């Protein structure tokens, strides 16, 4: 079909692409014409070990189907690893147009008082650190070419779930980093789009949730069912920047940050605890809210300060 959304002449880097969602993303992009660097450290879901077998298998599968792909087994969890991944793609194809920061691990387990600090840091460095290191390595390249599509993979875990502290903390950090980069690109008037997804999918990680959930997730939410949504968000024609979406199965939903109208004190007066107590229902009321697009959202501020004067210095 002439109106098929294609990625011909585009180069994509997909991290954690040796299995599950990452593999599905890589296969979808390659099937629509993209050249894909398949990155996967090859370790277990708890962040241990390394082996390039998984990355090579997916790259070989793409090649066998007539596509173009290379394997990479560098870690995303260090600045050097992130730079090596991007450098390989540029050395191979001369450019990077798309990055999908999918790599993650579940290392820390137990309640917050039980989590080992080193495990917590490992969770942060793989999901949040990996997103930062890859984005840092490719950002100037995209900025100078005035083109780029970055898709960062968060998780509904950051909304609250019974898991180790590190994974939801890291996935929440991914959301904040994504918004920061999107605002930078918008204010710099660059054609760089940075969006985020919270995938629902049966993967190697879902067995940690028990056999009943694992079986249902893999039946109704296979990784391939999230691929089209992710690919759309890294296409040249994607119309949004800085947004978050729930994807997977047969669905795609927007996830947004809303700020209620809340309450305020009388002119020139601070709120008292008693006023807060008496007006707290209005603070919580979601019938009327503002969609926050940046930290300078009017709902966060007031008109007594000229916030625009410091944008270039602070933001």
Domain map (residue ranges) of the chain: 11-255, 258-314
The span from the CA of 217 to the CA of 210, in Å, is 11
φ, ψ at 292 (rounded to 5°): -85, 125
The span from the CA of 295 to the CA of 310, in Å, is 12
3-class DSSP state of 307: helix
3-class DSSP state of 186: helix
Lowest mean pLDDT among 36-45, 52-61, 91-100, 147-156: 36-45
Mean pLDDT of 260-285: 91
Residue 164's pLDDT band (cuts 50, 70, 90): confident
252, 229 contact by CB (below 8 A) = yes
Residue 314's pLDDT band (cuts 50, 70, 90): very low
For residue range 140-156, list pLDDT tens digits in order.
Answer: 999 999 999 999 999 98
Q: Which fold has domain 11-255?
A: Rossmann fold (3.40.50)
Residue 165's pLDDT band (cuts 50, 70, 90): confident
Nearest to 85 by CA among 68, 73, 98: 73
Choose, from 25, 120, 147, 167, the residue flagged as catalytic.
Answer: 167
Burial of 1 (0-12, 13-18, 19+ CB in 10 A): exposed
Does the active-site annotation cover 147? no
């Amino acid at each position: 079909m002439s109106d098929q959304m294609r990625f011909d002449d585009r180069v994509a880097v997909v991290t954690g692409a040796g299995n599950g969602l990452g593999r599905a993303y890589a296969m979808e992009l390659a099937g629509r014409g993209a050249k894909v660097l398949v990155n996967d450290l090859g370790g277990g879901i708890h962040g241990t070990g390394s082996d390039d077998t998984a990355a090579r298998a997916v790259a070989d599968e793409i090649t066998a189907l007539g596509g173009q792909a290379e394997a990479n087994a560098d870690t995303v969890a260090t600045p050097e690893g992130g730079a090596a991944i991007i450098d390989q793609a540029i050395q191979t194809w001369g450019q990077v147009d798309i990055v999908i920061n999918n790599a993650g691990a579940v290392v820390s387990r137990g309640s917050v008082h039980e989590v080992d600090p080193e495990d917590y840091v490992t969770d942060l460095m793989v999901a949040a650190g990996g997103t930062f290191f890859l984005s840092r390595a490719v950002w100037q390249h995209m900025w100078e070419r005035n083109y780029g599509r970055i898709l960062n993979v968060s998780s509904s875990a950051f909304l609250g779930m019974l898991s180790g502290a590190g994974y939801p903390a890291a996935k929440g950090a991914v959301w904040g980093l994504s918004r920061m980069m999107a605002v930078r690109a918008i204010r710099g008037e660059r054609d760089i789009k940075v969006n985020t997804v919270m995938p629902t999918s049966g993967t190697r990680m879902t067995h940690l949730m028990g056999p009943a959930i694992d079986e249902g997730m893999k039946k109704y939410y296979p990784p391939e069912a999230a691929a089209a949504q992710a690919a759309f968000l890294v296409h040249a024609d994607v119309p949004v920047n800085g947004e978050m979406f729930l994807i997977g199965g047969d669905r795609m939903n927007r996830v947004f940050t809303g700020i209620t109208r809340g309450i305020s004190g009388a002119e020139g007066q601070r709120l008292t605890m008693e006023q807060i107590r008496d007006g707290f229902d209005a603070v919580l009321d979601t019938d009327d809210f503002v969609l926050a697009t940046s930290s300078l959202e009017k709902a966060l501020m007031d008109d007594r300060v000229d916030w625009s004067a410091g944008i270039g210095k602070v933001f």
